[in-house]
A = this chain, B = another copy of it.
Amino acid sequence: MMCQLFPYAERVTRWLEPEQQRAWRAYVRMQGELNAHLSRQMSVDSDISMADFAVLVQLTDTPDERVRVLELARSLHWEKSRISHHVARMEKRGLVRRESCGSDGRGSFVVLTDLGRSAIEAAAPSHAEMVQKLVFDQITPAEVGALREISEKIFARLTTGECAAVVAGCDADDAVEVVPQEGGCPEA
């Protein structure tokens, strides 16, 4: 594939070194368990999923609590059809509603409802505490920095060059980073 071009002409596979192998396995396992745990916790004690949460965060971060569908897709790095389906499900549950856009006949807004607002307000604190307990209570401040550096470097590689364009329906706009993720809120 496009990401497969390699400096070596031949098909010499570069297998992972033992050290890398260990790190990779540890990372993969941790990441899987952490995701599972955070998802389960959120759905158990707030009755919304991580995906719902991410969408709701985007909405609450916007002054008038309404965002265009494709704007959501871009800031969440989701495909447009994923957003579309997900919003449909959330609408069914009353967390958001759709409104058509006057200035552009084909567009539509996703709007936060009262139910949606109270859902995220209920979910945020325990989610933040969970992240704190499961992640940041376990590692040193130096490791926090390292985690960020590592993540940023890898992420950068994923969004540059040949690898970037693969995401359909959501161009790597660039300036990126109005990242959805919750976490703490700087005391407003």
Q: Show the binding face of A for B, using Cβ within 8 Å.
A: 1-6, 11, 13-37, 40-41, 44-45, 60, 77, 120-121, 124-126, 128-139, 141, 143-159, 163, 166-167, 179, 181, 183-188
Contacts and interface: CB of A to CB of B under 8 A. Distances in A.
Interface residues of A, dominant DSSP: helix
Each complex incorporates copies of this chain amounting to 2
B183 A20 contact: yes
B128 A16 contact: yes
Contacts of A135: 24, 154
Contacts of A120: 2
A184 B16 contact: yes
Contact of A3 (B1, B11, B28, B133): B133
Given A133-B3, A155-B30, A166-B40, A22 B148 contact: yes
A158 B134 contact: yes
Contacts of A28: 179, 181
B158 A16 contact: no
Q: Which of A24, A156, A181 has the most CB of B within 10 A?
A: A24
Contact of A2 (B29, B124, B138, B150): B124
A41 B144 contact: no
Q: Which of A28, A32, A128 has the most CB of B within 10 A?
A: A28
Contacts of A35: 31
A183 B15 CA distance: 7
